[in-house]
Amino acid sequence: MSKDKSNVVLVTGATGGIGKSIVNKYAEQGFTLAIADKNEDEANKLANEINHNGGMAMVFYGDLLDQSYCDNLTSEVQTKLGTVGILINNAGFMSRGDITQTSDEDYELSMKINVEAPFRLIRASIPLMVESGGGSIVNISSCWGINPGPNHLIYCTTKAALAAMTKCLGRDHAHQNIRINAVCPNEVNTPMLRTGFEIRGLNPDDAIEELNQSVPIGHIAEPEEIADVVAFLSSDEARYICGSLVEINGGKAVY
Which of 184, 70, 167 lies closest to 125, judged by CA?
70
How many of the other CB atoms lie within 10 Å of CB of 174?
A: 15
Query: 247 with 146: CB under 8 angstroms?
Result: yes
Please, which residues bridge with residue 10 across strands? 34, 87
Identify whether 3 is part of a domain. no
Same domain, 210 and 91: no
User: What is d(CA 211, CA 191) in angstroms, rounded to the nearest whole number?
Assistant: 15
Same domain, 91 and 132: yes
Same domain, 116 and 199: no
Structural domain for 230, as ranges: 8-186+223-248
User: What is d(CA 235, CA 39) in angstroms, rounded to the nearest whole number?
Assistant: 28
Identify whether 127 is part of a domain. yes
As for how many domains the chain has, the answer is 2
Q: How high is the mean pLDDT of the chain?
A: 95
Q: Examine the residue annotation and report whether 155 is marked as an active-site residue of this protein.
A: yes
Helices (H), the chain: 17-28, 40-52, 67-80, 104-111, 117-132, 153-173, 191-199, 204-212, 223-233
Supply the pTM of this predicted model.
Answer: 0.95
- Choose, from 69, 155, 240, 255, the residue flagged as catalytic: 155
Identify whether 26 is part of a domain. yes
The model's pLDDT over 149-203, given as tens digits with 9 standing for 90+, comes to: 899 999 999 999 999 999 999 999 999 999 999 999 999 998 888 888 888 888 9
What strands lie across the sheet with 56-61, from one edge to the other?
56-61, 32-37, 8-12, 84-89, 135-140, 178-185, 245-248
Same domain, 197 and 141: no
Same domain, 118 and 149: yes
Same domain, 72 and 113: yes
Same domain, 192 and 105: no
Please spell the DSSP secondary structure of 38-53, one letter per residue.
Answer: S-HHHHHHHHHHHHHT
The model's pLDDT over 97-145, given as tens digits with 9 standing for 90+, comes to: 999 999 999 999 999 999 999 999 999 999 999 999 999 999 999 999 9
Identify whether 2 is part of a domain. no
Q: For the domain that residue 131 is a member of, what is the CATH number? A: 3.40.50.720
Same domain, 180 and 62: yes
Same domain, 234 and 192: no
Question: What's the gap between Cα 76 and its chain centre?
Answer: 20
Identify whether 254 is part of a domain. no
CA distances from 201 to 61, 95, 106 (A): 33, 17, 21
Identify whether 89 is part of a domain. yes
Same domain, 162 and 74: yes
Same domain, 105 and 33: yes
